[in-house]
A and B are shown apart, each in its own frame.
Chain A
């Protein structure tokens, strides 16, 4: 009976059956150990992930291209059905937007004039890399995307990722030719934001439902529905003033951000690098123009305090 067991299970010899069982136990234990060790969230794991993403880049690129064509095709067909209605709507919208354009150009001139008077210095952009999304790992474990630009294209960890409408997330791992962008809706994403027009500071965090919650609003402040949210740049997380979304109240009383970015269907992102100039903590440079050092060594500072009122 026992002799026939391995044959009934499709093995040629009992050794094969034993080897299979041994392998199952060995690799199962290895997976369990990995799972426990991985709980520590070592930075090495991110590096290994990027190696895996770099290695699969060619297949991912081909696959996402094909998926893009397919969805474009579906979109074309479904748009054809509503062509007439869309046309009429767009004509009306276009007329309205033309009026807005004149207004916007007027404001642009005015703002430029004010800026030149006030000599405002903005956080300078060190570079922009445009990349297309080749993988979408939106799932219960992480909401992130992989884009086809990496260290070779100048992408750096911490870059802000924006789509056409607003902030999408930030770069958390960089490979040779691909990088991973953590979306604003991931539960581990926490972004300091500013809510206009009063400038209320809050933190935008992803939640389990895939929405961006507005948290840590100061007590006594009620947020207006539809108020604009921009990044605050607190903590040097990213530069201030990037468009994020608008406030939307939920039925349970909490507030979420209706993001400008189309996070579920991001296809192209702009990865922006900012040179955050922080010279506050840096010791001041010696001033070469003043001929002070010649006299200083003879009078040690500690033993020669300057008399008050001199």
Chain B
């Protein structure tokens, strides 16, 4: 009985782990790095988490957690509430559609991520411009997209490790 409750609890925690990682990624994205130079943007860590778990384990990263990840990031980063939520949901849908349409042609998850990330930053730029009703400077968004794409392989490996060694055993 006790064992069963414990295993069910672990199963539950294992299922919420991707969402927890996504929330931590939101916080990580606004930690001041005090880097030399006037680099203002940080990589879009939350998009990496949403993309990885959304495409690899769609059962654990459903639209609900994606929405709340985006909203949390909006609240923390000072963006208009709902902006990143909408961007993440749209890009999650886009990634799934592209994967299911060109699954055999796009061998690399990195290429799919690059496509998703460019779409995400373009959409964020468009929404930011519409929201402020001026043409926003596209350069920060371009830098953010490049940084995020460049760093994704490291995080992709880390997430794959967490999935294999933590989430799957916890939910077994």
Render A38-63 as a binary contact track against B, CB cut-off 8 A, 1 for contact.
11000001001100110010011001
Closest Cβ neighbor of B132 among chain A residues: A187
CB distance from B72 to the nearest CB of A (A): 6
Tell me, in angstroms, the Cα distance from A138 to B24 when the chains sit together.
Answer: 19
Interface pair A142/B78, CB less than 8 Å apart: yes
**Contact of B77 (CB < 8 Å), options: A68, A134, A141:** A141
Q: Is the C-beta of B141 less than 8 angstroms from some C-beta in chain A? A: yes
Partner of B86, one of A10, A35, A135: A35
Chain A stretch 126-142: residues in CB contact (< 8 A) with chain B: 133-142
B89 at the interface (CB under 8 A from A): yes
**Chain B contact residues (Cβ within 8 angstroms of A): what range?**
35 or more
Interface size classification for chain A:
35 or more
* Contact A136 B31, beta carbon cutoff 8 Å: yes
Establish whether residues A26 and B63, one from each chain, have CB atoms under 8 Å apart when the complex forms: yes
- What's the Cα separation between A216 and B44 when bound, in Å? 37
> A215 an interface residue at 8 Å Cβ cutoff?
no
- With a cutoff of 8 Å between Cβ atoms, the chain A residues found around residue B66 in the complex are 27
Q: Interface on B for A, CB 8 Å cutoff?
A: 24, 26-28, 30-35, 38, 40-41, 58-59, 62-64, 66-67, 70-72, 75-83, 85-86, 89-90, 92-93, 96, 100, 125, 127-128, 131-132, 134, 136-137, 140-141
Q: What 4 A-B pairs have minimum CB-CB distances, sorted nearest first?
A: A34-B82, A142-B78, A23-B63, A136-B32
A residues near B (Cβ < 8 Å) are 8-11, 16, 20, 23-24, 26-28, 30-35, 38-39, 45, 48-49, 52-53, 56, 59-60, 63-64, 67-68, 71, 133-142, 144-146, 180, 187, 208-210, 264-265, 267
15 pairs of residues in contact across A and B, judged by CB atoms under 8 Å: A27-B66, A30-B82, A35-B83, A35-B131, A45-B81, A56-B76, A63-B31, A71-B34, A136-B31, A137-B76, A137-B78, A139-B79, A141-B79, A142-B77, A142-B79
